[in-house]
């Protein structure tokens, strides 16, 4: 089985409008794309680019919220805003046939935030199509101090309490490694909960091939585990995206 890759268009080709970035990803040899916040681009324009290229859109994020916010779903008192963001993400994903939504939690804390987050996840599950996945992504505390969802263990506890086949873990090798976890060990342990996998070098979030994570080994392990979905390249290029793609030619 050959490893397949998804271009995260939040970081790759950020200078291009989203439909052009989708076409550029196809030309570069990616099998899928994903994005952060596509809402300024009409969904039908994105759908047209996906149809033209044959690429899948794997996931998109709910909105961050206002200035200084990084998600709304775990913020007590912001339930109406969180649900509006969820509705928006679902509508956009349905039009573009995006397969999953990353529900951004934000900077909430304590038992009330726990309750609000669970309630908002259940709202998303109840309103999303049956074939759409909801993703929970822990963010590392070095880059995202005080973010509500900050460990794989916390995410798994939430997923177990939900017991829904449509709620899954977004496993970002960068965040796991930056938090001090062993990426390969955690892939083995967390595989039953994982819905999508992303990667970047640690600690600089650059392209794979440098830093503390050996992605030759990681990708080989994922093949052994029979992981069949495209892996999300969510890294920051040093210069142009094209100049950063040596890893893609090597692993493809």
* Alpha helix ranges (H) inside 37-127: 43-53, 79-96, 110-127
Which of 137, 185, 223, 243 is the catalytic position? Answer: 137
Helices then strands, each counted (H, E), the chain? 9, 9
Both ends of the chain: CA-CA distance in Å? 11
Give the CA dihedral 230, 209, 170, 93, nearest 10 degrees: -50
Q: Which residues are CB-neighbours of 157 under 8 A, at least 6 positions away?
A: none
Active site residue 234: yes
Question: Do residues 36 and 77 make contact, with C-beta atoms less than 8 angstroms apart?
Answer: no
Which of 224, 234, 242, 243 is the catalytic position? Answer: 234
Two structure tokens written together for 210: 């440098």
Give 3-state DSSP helix, strand, coil % of the chain, rounded to 5: 40, 15, 45
Active site residue 137: yes
Three-state secondary structure call for residue 58: coil
Q: Which residues are catalytic?
A: 137, 234
């Amino acid at each position: 089985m050959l490893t397949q890759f998804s271009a995260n268009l939040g970081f790759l080709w950020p200078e291009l409008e989203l439909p052009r970035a989708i076409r550029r990803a196809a030309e570069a040899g990616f099998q899928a794309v994903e994005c952060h916040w596509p809402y300024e681009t009409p969904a039908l324009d994105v759908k047209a680019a996906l149809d033209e290229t044959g690429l899948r859109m794997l996931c998109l994020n709910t909105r961050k919220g206002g200035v200084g916010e990084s998600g709304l779903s775990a913020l007590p008192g912001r339930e109406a805003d969180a649900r509006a963001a969820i509705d928006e993400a679902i509508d956009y994903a349905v039009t573009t046939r995006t397969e999953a939504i990353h529900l951004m939690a934000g900077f909430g804390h304590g038992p009330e935030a726990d309750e609000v987050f669970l309630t908002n996840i259940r709202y998303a599950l109840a309103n999303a199509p049956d074939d759409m996945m909801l993703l929970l992504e822990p963010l590392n505390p070095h880059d995202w101090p005080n973010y509500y969802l900050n460990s794989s263990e916390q995410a798994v506890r939430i997923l177990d309490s939900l017991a829904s086949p449509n709620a899954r873990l977004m496993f970002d090798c960068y965040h796991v490694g930056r938090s001090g976890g062993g990426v390969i060990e955690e892939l083995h342990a967390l595989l039953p909960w994982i819905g999508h996998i992303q990667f970047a070098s640690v600690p600089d979030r650059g392209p794979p091939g440098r830093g503390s994570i050996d992605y030759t080994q990681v990708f080989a392990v994922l093949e052994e585990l029979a992981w069949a979905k495209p892996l999300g390249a969510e890294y920051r290029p040093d210069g142009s995206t094209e100049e950063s793609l040596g890893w893609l030619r090597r692993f493809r």
